[in-house]
């Protein structure tokens, strides 16, 4: 009986020691005096990858600078996701450009989509840009595809000409600079 009591005590002490060591070495526990007075510890983890530079601006499409659409024309600007969607019904009415993008690479909901528009003057020079951003509402949850839900593969967009180039913009180009789907 005494042997069982000693073994149980030893096991409890070993467990307490493991807990204390885990707590002391935990990366979630802030080390003492690790930050300056009056500053708070960051609330999120910071990750870096060798050779990968963090984004410093909104996504762009280099092709917008190379296009020269004619007055009244709207064209699709080439981008990195062109093989994953089709763009249709592009129209430009002088104050906005509109159209739609349909996912063609697979059958899944659109999670993020950004359409970037370039606006051009009568000489075909790029005079401004604007963007449309769609962000899937995660609070709505994920639909049950087995229950007959059809994935949202189509996103319609409308992008207004920026106020500072209204009157100068006579043509447009649109491309997709961000596309995330399931």
Report the pLDDT value the prediction gives residue 68, as an integer from 0 to 100: 95
In a domain, 17, yes or no: no
- Tell me the mean pLDDT in the region 147-171: 86
How many structural domains are present in the chain?
1
pLDDT value for 97: 97
Q: If you average pLDDT over residues 153-167, what whole number do you get?
A: 94
Instruction: Output the DSSP codes for the chain.
Output: -HHHHHHHHHHHHHHHHHHHHHHHH-TTSPPTT-S-TT-PPPSS-----TTPPPP-S----GGGGT--PPTT-EEEPP-TTGGGEEEEEEEE-SSEEEEEEEE-SSS--EEEEEEEEEEE-TTS-EEEEEEEEEE--GGG----GGGTPPP--EEEEEEEPPGGGTTT--EEEEEEEEEEE-
Instruction: Give the pLDDT mean for 38-50.
Output: 55
CA distance 51 to 123: 40
Inside any domain, residue 81 = yes
- The pLDDT value recorded for residue 158 is 97
Nearest partner of 86 among 103, 98, 74, 72, judged by Cα: 103
Report yes or no on 7 lying in a domain: no
The answer to whether position 58 is within a domain reads no
Residue 53 in domain = no
Say what the pLDDT of residue 165 is. Answer: 96
pLDDT-based confidence at 38, cuts 50/70/90? Answer: very low
pLDDT at position 30 is 44
The domain of 175 spans: 63-181
The yes-or-no verdict on residue 16 having pLDDT over 70 is no
51, part of any domain: no
How confident is the model over 112-129, as a mean pLDDT?
A: 96
pLDDT in tens, 64-110: 999 999 999 999 999 999 999 999 999 999 999 999 999 888 767 78
**pLDDT over 80 at 63, yes or no:** yes
- Quick check: is 2 in a domain? no
Tell me the residue length of the chain.
Answer: 182
- CATH number of the domain that residue 148 is part of: 2.60.40
């Amino acid at each position: 009986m005494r042997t069982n009591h000693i073994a149980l005590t030893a096991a409890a002490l070993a467990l307490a020691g493991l807990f204390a060591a885990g707590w002391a070495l935990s990366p979630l526990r802030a080390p003492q005096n690790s930050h300056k007075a009056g500053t708070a510890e960051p609330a999120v983890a910071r990750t870096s990858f060798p050779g990968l530079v963090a984004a410093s601006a909104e996504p762009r499409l280099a092709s917008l600078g190379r296009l020269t659409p004619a007055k009244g024309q709207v064209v699709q600007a080439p981008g990195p996701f062109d093989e994953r969607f089709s763009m249709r019904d592009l129209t430009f009415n002088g104050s906005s450009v509109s159209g739609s993008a349909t996912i063609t690479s697979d059958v899944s909901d659109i999670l993020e989509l950004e359409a970037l528009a370039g606006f051009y003057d009568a000489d075909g020079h790029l005079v401004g840009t604007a963007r449309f951003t769609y962000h899937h509402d995660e609070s709505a949850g994920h639909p049950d595809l087995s229950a007959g839900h059809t994935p949202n593969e189509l996103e319609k967009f409308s992008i207004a000409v920026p106020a500072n180039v209204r009157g100068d913009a006579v043509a447009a180009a649109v491309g997709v600079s961000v596309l995330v789907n399931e």
